[in-house]
Structure 1
Amino acid sequence: MAAETAPGPRQPLWFLSLLALAAAGGAVAYVPFLTVLLPLRVVSLTGSEDVVALSFATFLGAVVASLANIGFGWLSDRTGSRRGWILAGLVSSSLLLLLFGQVETVRQLVVLIMAWQLGLNMMLGPLAAWAGDCVPDEQKGLLGGLFAFAPALGALSGAFVTIPGLADGQERLALVALLVAAMVLPALVVGKGRSLPHLTMPTDSAAGSPADPFKQRRIIGNMWFARLLVQVSEAALFAFLLFWLRSITPGFGEDRAARIFSLVLIIAVPIALVAGRWSDKARRPMLPLAICAGLSSLGLLAMALSSSLNGALGGYFLFGVSSMTFLALHSGQTLRVLPRPQHRGRDLGFFNLTNTVPSLIIPGLTLTLVPVFGFSALFLLLAALAALACVLIAIISRPI
C-alpha cells in the first residue's frame, strides 16, 4: 500500500507553480477569445449579433477541439516528447490567433477557428499529460489546488484585454498571444528533465492501482461521469447566469453578473489550495471531491427554491465555489487514476470530452425545461446530477 512505502521524489513548489501558470496560460488562450473577442469579430463581419454564425463556429470548433486533444495527446505518447508538442502548439495557435483580424467572411472565420483549435489543443493535450509525467501522487492534490488559478486568470484576462483605450481589435489578439507565451514558456524553459521515471515507465497498471481490473475501470468511469455531471451544471450556469438573475430581478446589470462570476472564481482559489494540500497530507484524494459535489448540489437546490435575490445569490455562491473547487481538484486527481503512463496523453484527451460535451447538451436541456417549467426545474435537475456525482465519487473515496 502507498501508506507503507517511503516517500518518493517530489517536485519543488516553484515548479508546481510554473506548471499551474502554464495551465492558466491555456485558459487565457481561449477564454477571452471565445467569450469576448470572437463575438465582437462576428459582429464586425456581419454587422449584427449573428447568433447562428457564432453558434455554428463555436460548435465546429468544439468538435475539432475534442478530437485534436485526443489526437495530440496520443501523438505525445507515441513520440515521448511532450515539451516539443507544447511549444509547437503554442507557436501555431498564437500565429493563427493573429490572423483573425484579417478574415473577411464568416466562412473564413469558421475555417480559421477549426485550425486554431487544432493548434491550441496541440498545446493543451500534451501539457496536461506532461504534468502527469512530472508530479507524483503525493502532490497531485496541491497541483489540483494550483489549477484553480486557471479559470480565474482566464476570466481576468478577458477583462484586462478589453480595458477601454488599452488596445484595439488586432492589438487585443496580439496581447492575448503575448500573455499566453509569457505564462507557458517559463515551465518549458526550466522543465527539461523534470519528468519522473516511475511516472513515465510503460506498465500494464499504475503503481498502487487496484489489482482487480474491473475495479480500476469502475474508478476511472466514476471519475469521468462525475466530472461530466458537474461540468453540465457549471456550463449551464455559465451560459444562463444573467438570464436567471434577470428572471428574479428585472434589469439586473451584466456588469454586476460579471463581477459576481469573477468573485466566485477568486474565492475558489484559496479553498482549492487548502483542500488539495489537505488531501495530500491526509491521503484522502477523493474525499474533497465528494464534499464539493455534495455542496454543489445543495447550492443548486437553494437556487431552485429561493424566491429572493439574496437567497438566490447565496445558493449560487455555494454552487459556484464548490463546483470550481471540484473541477480544479479533479484535474489533479485524474492524473492519479489513469492506469497506463504510456497512454496518459490519449486517456486525458478522453477525459477532456467532459469539458466539451456539456456545450452540446446544455442548449437542448435548457430549451426543454426552462420555457415550460422555469429555471427552478432546470436547477432541480442539475442538483440531482451533482448529487449523483457526489455518490459516484463517494463510492471510490477511500484512504490510500
Structure 2
Amino acid sequence: MDDPAPHRHQSLAFMLLYALAVAGGSMAYVPFLTILLPSRIAVLAGSADVEWLGLLTFAGAIAASVGGILFGWLSDITNSRRWWILSGLVLTVALLLAVPLADDLWTLVSIIICWQLALNMVLGPLAAWGGDLVPDDQKGLLGGLLAFAPALGAWSGALVTLPVLETFESRLFALAFLVVAAVTPATVFARPRRLEMLGRAPSLDRDGRIGTLSKGPAVRMWFARFLVQISEAALFAYLYFWFRSIDPDMGDNEKARLFSLALTIAIPIALYCGRWSDRNDRPFLPLVISSAVSAAGMLGMALAASADLAKLAYLLFGIATTVFLALHAGQTLRILPRSDRRGRDLGVFNLTNTLPSLIMPLLTISVVPGFGFETLFLVLATLAILATLILTTIPRPSPGRA
C-alpha cells in the first residue's frame, strides 16, 4: 500500500520558487524606497526633500494598506491568485519605469500611490497562494525560506547601484529585470500540487459561528507582529542616524555591511528553526524565543558602553527580528480561520507592516530629541517583551492537524 504522506506535502522545488517570488516583492520595494526614490526626490524637491519623502512615505503606506486588503479579497472571490499576481507584476514594472517621466513632485506622488497599489496586487494574492498550497506541517520550513526575501532585497540594492549603472533610468531597468526574473518562475512555470485539505471549511467557534480574525490566536499573532514591526521600522528608518551617533567615523560601507550581515546570518537560523518547529509540532515556540532575543538585542543597544558592543547588540537584534518576521509569516497561514478569505485576512495582517511606518515617526520625534536613542530603544524593547508575553498565551495546536 502506498504511503499517503508524500501527498500531504508540497515539493521543495515549488517552495523554493515561491520563496524566490516573495523575495521578488522585497526586491521591488527595498532598493526603490531606500535608495532610488530618495535620490529622485532630492533632484525634484531640493532642500525640501525630507518633507516630501515623509509625504510620499505616508501616502504610500496608506495605498499599500488598502491595496493589500483589496487585492487579497478580490483574489479570494475570483478564486484566482496567479492572474492577479501576473497582472500586478506588469503594472508594477510599468509604473516603476514611468518614475523618470515625473518632472514635478505631485506627478511623482501620483505614480507612487499607483505603484503601491500595483505592488500589493502582487503581494496580497502571493501571500495567500502560499496558504493555498503549503500544508501546516511545512509552514515552518516555508517561513524559514521566506527569510531569503529581506536579504535578497538588500542585496538587490547593492546590484542596482553598481558603478556600471550610472543613470537613474538604467538602475530602474535593472531593478525591474530582477523583479520579473524572481516572480515569474513560480507564477508562470511552476505547477504545484493542489492539496484538498487546505481548502477545509471555515473553523467554527463554540457557538457554531464561523471564526473571525478578532478571536483566537489570530488577534494575538497580529498584535505580536505589530509590536515587533514598530521596532523594526524604527531601526530601518533611523539606523543611519543611530550609527552616526555612536561612531561618527563609521563609513556608509560598514553600515551597509552590518545590515546585510544580520539579514544573511538570519537565513540558516530561520531555516533550522522552521524545520525544527515542523518536526516537533511546536509552531509558536521559535516565535517566542526570537521575539525575546530581539528584545534583548534592543536592550543591549540601549545600554551598550561602547560602539563595538552597540554594533554586536544590533546584530543580535537584526538577526532575531528577521528570524521572527520570516517564521511569523509562515505560521500566520496556519491560524487564519477561513481558507476562502485568506487573501483578505492576510491583507489585514499586512497592516502590521504598514501601520508602524505611520506610528514610528511620531514615536521617534517625541522621544529622541529630548531623551536620546537610548530611551527610544528601551521603549521598543518593552514592546518586544510585550510581544513575547502575548505569544506565550497561544496554545499548542491539536496533535495530528494537517
TM over 0.5: yes
Match of 1:335 in 2: 333
Q: How does 1:247-258 map to 2 (within 5 A)?
A: 247-258=245-256
Partner AA of 1:346 in structure 2 = R
**Are positions 1:138 and 2:113 aligned together?**
no
Match of 1:58 in 2: 57
Note the alpha carbon deviations across 1:131-172, whole angstroms, 9 max, x for none.
110000010000000000000000110111001123521111
Match of 1:68 in 2: 67
**Are positions 1:173 and 2:172 aligned together?**
yes
Change (3 A) 1:95 1:73: same
Note the alpha carbon deviations across 1:169-199, whole angstroms, 9 max, x for none.
1111111111111111100123345332221
Q: How many corresponding residue pairs? A: 393
Match of 2:263 in 1: 265
Change (3 A) 1:288 1:75: same
Deviation at 1:29, TM superposition (A): 0.8
What is the rounded CA distance, in whole Å, between the counterparts of 1:192 and 1:212 in structure 2?
32
Match of 1:223 in 2: 221
**Given that residues 24 and 150 in structure 1 are in contact (C-alpha distance below 8 angstroms), is that contact kept between their aligned partners in structure 2?**
yes
What is the rounded CA distance, in whole Å, between the counterparts of 1:269 and 1:116 in structure 2?
29
Structure 1 segments unaligned to the other structure (5+ residues)? none
How does the TM-score come out when normalised to structure 1?
0.94
Deviation at 1:66, TM superposition (A): 0.5
Q: How does 1:110-129 map to 2 (within 5 A)?
A: 110-129=109-128
How does the TM-score come out when normalised to structure 2?
0.93
3-state SS of 1:395 partner: coil
Deviation at 1:373, TM superposition (A): 1.3
Partner AA of 1:137 in structure 2 = D
Deviation at 1:398, TM superposition (A): 2.3
**Given that residues 144 and 329 in structure 1 are in contact (C-alpha distance below 8 angstroms), is that contact kept between their aligned partners in structure 2?**
yes
**Given that residues 202 and 340 in structure 2 are in contact (C-alpha distance below 8 angstroms), is that contact kept between their aligned partners in structure 1?**
no
Give the percent of matched residue pairs that are identical in Structure 1 and Structure 2.
Answer: 56
Note the alpha carbon deviations across 1:243-268, whole angstroms, 9 max, x for none.
22222222322221111011000000
Deviation at 1:223, TM superposition (A): 0.2
Partner AA of 1:308 in structure 2 = S
Partner AA of 1:234 in structure 2 = E
Partner AA of 1:277 in structure 2 = R
Structure 2 segments unaligned to the other structure (5+ residues)? none
What is the rounded CA distance, in whole Å, between the counterparts of 2:212 and 2:58 in structure 1?
35
Partner AA of 1:145 in structure 2 = G
What is the rounded CA distance, in whole Å, between the counterparts of 1:215 and 1:151 in structure 2?
27
Within the candidate set 368, 384, 396, 1:370 is matched to: 368
Match of 1:20 in 2: 19
Match of 2:286 in 1: 288
Partner AA of 2:276 in structure 1 = W
Within the candidate set 361, 370, 378, 1:380 is matched to: 378
What is the rounded CA distance, in whole Å, between the counterparts of 1:327 and 1:344 in structure 2?
19
Match of 2:389 in 1: 391
Over the aligned positions, Cα root-mean-square deviation in angstroms equals 2.1
Match of 1:86 in 2: 85
**Given that residues 248 and 307 in structure 1 are in contact (C-alpha distance below 8 angstroms), is that contact kept between their aligned partners in structure 2?**
no
Which sits farther off after the overlay, 190-199 or 221-230? 190-199
Deviation at 1:7, TM superposition (A): 7.5
Match of 2:232 in 1: 234
